[in-house]
Amino acid sequence: MVELRRLRGVVIVVCVAAIPTMIVGSILERTGVALFGGLCAAIAVGCLLVATTVAPAPKPNSAEDEAARVEALINDLAAQGADEAALRGLANTAIRLGRAQQGQ
């Protein structure tokens, strides 16, 4: 399956190419060329919308994985000279903020 990142790049290239195609087609009074450029861009964007809609959602990280990541970040910053107690206090405040935003 094509990665969404690659598909986005292709859609951007198609849309960037379609803009001058529509402009030049209009200047030369070749409405077919201008219409072709516009339709190519519209179809490319439509394909991206469909692909984004049907693509599987990324698997969320588990709480244990996130906790290990936060612990590693705290240890790294503490190793660089930051106050470990202040870092842990900051992490606890961030947890409380997240819970408050979720309505817990």
- Determine contact, residues 39/14, Cβ cutoff 8 Å: no
Domain boundaries, the chain: 4-54, 63-102
Q: How confident is the model at residue 38 (pLDDT cuts 50, 70, 90)?
A: very high
Burial 51-90 (b: 16+ CB within 10 A, else e): beeeeeeeeeeeeeeeeeeeeeebeeeeeeeeeeeebeee
pLDDT in tens, 65-85: 888 998 999 999 999 999 999
pLDDT in tens, 85-99: 999 999 999 889 988
